[in-house]
Amino acid sequence: MKKYSEMTREELTAEKERLQARYDKYMKQDLSLNMARGKPSIEQEEASIEMLDIINSRSNLETEEKQDVLNYGNLMGLIEARRLFSEILGVPVEKIVIGGNSSLNMMFDYLMQCYAMGSGEAYEPWVVQGGCKFLCPSPGYDRHFGIAEYLGLELIPVPMTPTGPDMDIVEELAKDPKVKGMFCVPKYANPTGQSYSDETVKRLAKMETAPDFRVIWDNAYVIHDLTGRHDDVLDLLDECEKAGNPDRAVLFASTSKVTFPGAGIAVLAANKDNLDWILKRMDKQTIGADKINQLRHVRYFANGLEDVKAHMDKLAGIITPHFNVVLSTFERKLKPLDICTWTNPNGGYFISLDCMEGTATRVYNLCKECGVTLTTVGATWPYGKDPKDSNMRIAPTYPSLEELAIATDVLCIAIRLAALEKILED
Amino acid sequence: MKKYSEMTREELTAEKERLQARYDKYMKQDLSLNMARGKPSIEQEEASIEMLDIINSRSNLETEEKQDVLNYGNLMGLIEARRLFSEILGVPVEKIVIGGNSSLNMMFDYLMQCYAMGSGEAYEPWVVQGGCKFLCPSPGYDRHFGIAEYLGLELIPVPMTPTGPDMDIVEELAKDPKVKGMFCVPKYANPTGQSYSDETVKRLAKMETAPDFRVIWDNAYVIHDLTGRHDDVLDLLDECEKAGNPDRAVLFASTSKVTFPGAGIAVLAANKDNLDWILKRMDKQTIGADKINQLRHVRYFANGLEDVKAHMDKLAGIITPHFNVVLSTFERKLKPLDICTWTNPNGGYFISLDCMEGTATRVYNLCKECGVTLTTVGATWPYGKDPKDSNMRIAPTYPSLEELAIATDVLCIAIRLAALEKILED
C-alpha cells in the first residue's frame, strides 16, 4: 500500500471505486453495531456478578463503626468504603466522602453549588459574578462540557497534548479572573487515553488563577490499566497543598467501570475547607448514600486495593483484546496510507482517532448509513463543535470481538472513502 | 388527679416535690434513650430483610423493557418501578421519575434548580429575582426548612390546623409574587400526623400565586397507616390541572419507611412541562439511578400495591404498639391535668405535643439531663424558633417498647415539672 499523498489521481480514483464496492457490500448486510459509548460489556459485568451474593438476609451486617447500614445516616459514608478509596486514590481517608452510584452526579452537584452558592464561604456565587468561564481540554468528555454548558458557563477549549492540556495556553487563560475552573481526566484521559505528566500536574497546582478557581479532577480511570505498562499521575491535592493553593483541587472517581456501571459507588475527595463547604450542602441535601451498596463493595474487595487490582487485571484480560482488534486493524489498514493518527493508550476506555481534517462528519455519516454507530462527531468538543472536523472517539469495550472486527473494518473503509473524496474534490 | 388550674399553691408545691423525687430517681439510672428522629426500628428493618435475597448472581435480571440493570442508562427508572409508584401515589406512570435512595435529595435538587435556573423555561431563577420567600406550615419538617434556609429563601411560618395549613392565611400570603412556594406533607403530616382535607387541597390548587410558585408535595407517609382508620387525601396534581394551574405541584415520596431507610427508592411526579424541565437538568446530572435496587423492590412487591399494603400492615403491627405506649401514658398521666395537648394520628411517624406555653425548652432540657433525647425544641419551626416554646415532636418508632415506656414516663414528669415551675413562678 502506498501513501495517498503519493498516489496519482488515477490510483486514487481506482482505490475509491474498490472501497466503494466493499462499502456497498456492507450496506446490504443490515448491520447494527455500536462503538459510541464507553460502556462495559456484558462479559465485564459477569466478572463482578458474584458481588450480588455478598449481602443477603443471613449476612453479618456489622460495620467497623457499628452503624446500621439499613437505616438512615452517615453522610460521609462507611469508614471502610472511605478507606478503600483512600487506597485507590492515594488520598488520606479524612479527605474522602462516598456518594451514590454516580461520580458525574457528585461533579454536577459540586459545580451547581459553586454556581449558586459560591465555591467557598468567602466567594460570590458564579451566577452572581456573571460571565464565568471554564477551561475544557479538548478533545474531552462530553458530559463534563454538558454540565458547564447547562450552568451557562462559557466553555473555552484548550488543546490536549500527549502530556495533558497545553499548559502554556492554560496558564495564560487561567489568569483571567472570570475563568473559574477546568475539567481534567488526568489518567487515560477521555478520549485520548493519555495521562498528565508530572510537569503538567505541578504547573496546574502552581499557576496563577482566581482564588475561586477549581480543578474538577475526574480520576475516572485511576486503576484502569490495560497493558503491562501503566501510567503514574501525581496527586493534585498534594501538589496544590505544596504550591500554597490547597483549595484548588476537587477529586472524583467511582467503581462504575470496576464493578457495575449503574450500581457502583462514587467518591469525592478534597481538602478540609472545600470538604466543609461541600458537606454543608450535602447535609441539607441527603441523609446519606446507600450504605448497603458500600458494604457490598468493601466485602467484595475484602483485601482492599490488592483485591481491586486483581479484579482490574481480570477486566483488562477482557478489555485488552477489544482494544487490540481496533488498533491492529488501524495499523494494517490505515497506517501505510498516512491519512490519520490515533492514540495507543496504556489504559482507560477510549482510542482517540484524528481523521483527515474536514472529514470526521462524513466518516460518521458513512458509518451510520451502514449501521455502525460512532460517538457523535464534535461530542468531544465544547458546544459539540470540533473546529477541525477531525476527531472521533472510539469506544471498543461494549461490542463483542466479532462485532468490533466488522465495525472497525467499516470504519476504516469510511475513513479512507472520506479522505479520497476530500483529496479528489480539491 | 385534679387539673393544675384547680389546685391550690400548696397542692401544686406538694405535686412538684413528688415529681422532683421521681425525677431524681430516674437521674440515678444513667438512662440513654432517644425519641428524637423518625427512624424505623430494627424490628421494622427485619420485616424487609428478605428483600436482600431477591437479587443474586443466579437471578433472572431481565426487565420488561429488556434493559441491562447492571449497566448505565434509563434516566426515568425502570417502567415496572414507575408503575409501582403510579399505583402507590395514584398518579399516571408517565408523570413519574425514579430517583436514588432519598426523596429529600430529589427535593433539594429540584429546589436548587428553581433557585439557580428558574422553575421553568419562562421564569427567572429565584436567585436572580431576589428576596424570594417560602411558606412553611408549622410545626413542620425541619429538613424541609433546612433546604429553603440553605438557599437563602425567607421562611414564612403558617399555622397548621387539623385539616392542614390555615388556608385563609396561605391564600393571603401566596398573593405576594415573591412567595415562590410551599412545603406540604399532605398525609399524616410531620409532625402533627394530621391530613389535609379535600377543601385544603382544592384551595391550594386554586389560589392566586406567582406563576412560578411551586408546592413541594412531600407524600412521605402516603401508605403509612397505623390504625384501622386511614385518611384519604386528594391528588394535588389532578386538582391543579382542574384548577388551570397544572404546573403548581411537584410530588415526592419514597420507600424509606417501607423497606430500608438508607436503601429504598425515591420518586418524583409532575406534569409534563415540569417533568421536561426537571429531566433537562437530570440529563446533565446523572446517567440514571441504581436500577438493581429498583428491580429488587419491584420483585419484592411482585403483586404491586397489594403486596405493598400487606407489607405496610405488617409494619403497622410493629409500629402501632409504640404509638400506643406513648398515647396511653399521655392519656393516663397528662390528660387529667389539662396542661397540654397532643395529636392522635391515624398514621405516619409522629405525635405532636403542645406543652404549656413557654415550657418546651425546659422540658427538653429536663429530659436531656436525665438521659432522654427528644427532637430539639423549635426544630419543627422555621429557623428553629418556636414562637410559643411549646411544640415537641415525639418519634415513637425507634426505641424498644420497654425503652419507650421509661422515656415517656420521664417525658411526662418533665412536662409536669416544667408546668409547675411556670405556674408557681407566676
Find the angle CA(B299)-CA(B301)-CA(B305) to the nearest 5 degrees. 140
CA distance A251 to A240: 12
Testing the interface with B: which of A41, A66, A112 to mutate, by most B Cβ within 10 A? A112
Amino acid identity at B313: D
Q: For residue A80, give the DSSP letter.
A: H
User: Between residues B107 and A37, which one has the greater pLDDT?
Assistant: B107
One-letter amino acid identity for A69? V
Distance from CA of A126 to the nearest CA of B (A): 10
**Stretch 17-76 of chain B: residues touching chain A, C-beta under 8 Å:** 37, 39-40, 42, 45, 49-50, 52-53, 55-57, 59, 68-74
pLDDT of the residue at A359: 98
Q: What one-character-per-residue DSSP string does B364-379 give? A: HHHHHHTTEEEPPTTT
A291-300 vs A79-89: helix axis angle to the nearest 10? 50
For B119, the grid coordinates are 422553575
Q: Can you tell me whether residue B265 is helix, strand or coil?
A: coil
DSSP strand E in B219-265: where? 249-254
To the question of pTM greater than 0.90 for the whole model, the response is yes
Residues 6+ apart with CB under 8 A from A67: A73, A74, A78, A291
Say whether B55 and A50 touch across the interface (CB within 8 A). Answer: no
Nearest to B238 by CA among B186, B174, B294, B298: B186
With beta carbons under 8 A apart, name residues in chain B contacting A121. none
The helix or strand, by DSSP H or E, that contains position B277, with its residue range, turns out to be helix B272-285
What is the interface pTM, i.e. ipTM, of the complex? 0.96
Local confidence band at A228 (pLDDT 50, 70, 90 cut-offs): confident
Task: Tell me how many degrees the CA angle A176-A178-A180 measures, rounded to the nearest 5.
Answer: 100
Report in angstroms the alpha-carbon separations of B69 from A396, B57, B95, B290: 21, 13, 22, 8
pLDDT tens-place string over residues B403-424: 999 999 999 999 999 999 999 9
Local structure of residue A52 (DSSP, 8 states): G
pLDDT at B181 (0 to 100):
98
- B9 has a chain A CB within 8 A of its CB: no
Q: Which residues have CB under 8 Å from A224's CB, separation 6+?
A: A187, A188, A257, A312, A315, A347, A348, A349
pLDDT at A416 over 80: yes
Per-residue pLDDT of A175-206, as tens digits, reads 999 999 999 999 999 999 999 999 999 999 99
Does B229 score more than 90 pLDDT? Answer: no
Distances (CA, A) of B222 to B42, B49, B174, B252: 22, 22, 26, 10
pLDDT, position A224 = 96
Secondary structure (3-state) at A369? helix
Do B408 and B329 touch, CB atoms closer than 8 A?
yes
Q: Is B318 exposed, middle or buried (0-12, 13-18, 19+ CB in 10 A)?
A: middle
> Do A309 and A223 contact (CB within 8 A), yes or no?
yes
Residue A426, pLDDT score: 77
Q: Above 90 in pLDDT, residue A1?
A: no
Per-residue pLDDT band for B243 (boundaries 50, 70, 90) equals: very high
Query: What is the number of CB-based contacts under 8 A between chain A and chain B?
Result: 161
And the C-alpha cell for A244? 500554597
d(CA A415, CA B149): 56
Q: Residue B228 pLDDT more than 90?
A: no
- Residues of chain A above pLDDT 90, percent: 98
Question: Which of B37, B70, B127 lies closest to A263 in CB terms?
Answer: B70
* Sheet (strand B179-184) strand order: B96-98, B266-270, B249-254, B214-218, B179-184, B133-138, B154-161, B164-165
**A87 grid coordinates:** 487506597
Distance CA A192, CA A381 (A): 12
Mean pLDDT of A92-103: 98
In percent, the amount of chain A with pLDDT more than 70 equals 100
Q: How far is CA A202 from the centre of its chain?
A: 21
* Pairing assessment for the beta strands B179-184 and B133-138 based on DSSP bridges: parallel
Residue A338 Cα, gap to closest chain B Cα (Å): 37
**B-proximal residues of A, 268-307, CB under 8 Å:** 280-281, 283-293
Q: Which residues of A172-196 are buried (b: 16+ CB within 10 A; e: fewer)?
A: ebbeeeebbbbbbbbbbbbbbbbbb
| Antiparallel, parallel or unpaired: β A154-161 and A133-138 | parallel
Chain B residues with CB under 8 Å of A72 CB are 37, 39, 256, 261-262
Q: What's the pLDDT at A263?
A: 97
CB-based contact B52 A49, cutoff 8 Å:
no
Q: B284–A40: do the CB atoms touch at under 8 Å? A: no
Q: Chain A within 8 Å of B150 (Cβ-Cβ)?
A: yes
Q: What is the pLDDT of residue A38?
A: 87
User: Which stretch of A29-38, A115-124, A138-147 has the lowest confidence by average pLDDT?
Assistant: A29-38
Give me the residues paired with residue A393 across strands: A352
Q: Which stretches within A125-182 are classed as H helix?
A: 126-129, 142-150, 167-174
Q: Whose CA is closest to A157, among A132, A176, A135, A187? A: A135
Mind giving me the DSSP string for A254-313?
A: ESTTTS-TTS--EEEEE-HHHHHHHHHHHHHH-S---HHHHHHHHHHTTTTHHHHHHHHH
Question: Exposed, middle or buried: residue A208 (CB in 10 Å: 0-12, 13-18, 19+)?
Answer: exposed
Q: How far apart are CA B146 and CA B52, in angstroms?
A: 33
Band (B38; pLDDT cuts 50, 70, 90): confident
Say if residues A404 and A410 touch (Cβ distance below 8 Å).
no
Instruction: Report chain B residues whose CB lies below 8 A from the CB of A75.
Output: none
Query: What integer pLDDT is reported at residue B422 of this predicted model?
Result: 96
Per-residue pLDDT tens digits for B142-173? 999 999 999 999 999 999 999 999 999 999 99
Q: Do A71 and B45 touch (CB under 8 A)?
A: yes
C-alpha distance across the termini of chain B, in Å:
22
Mean pLDDT computed over every residue of chain B? 97
Q: Is it true that the peptide bond before A139 is cis, omega within 30 degrees of 0?
A: yes
pLDDT, tens digit (0-9, with 9 covering 90-100), for A315-328: 999 999 999 999 99
Write out the three cell numbers for B140: 413542620
pLDDT at B392 over 90: yes
Closest to A392 (Cα-Cα) out of A348, A340, A338: A340
- Residue B133's DSSP bridge partners are B154, B179
Residues 6+ apart with CB under 8 A from A225: A231, A312, A316, A346, A347
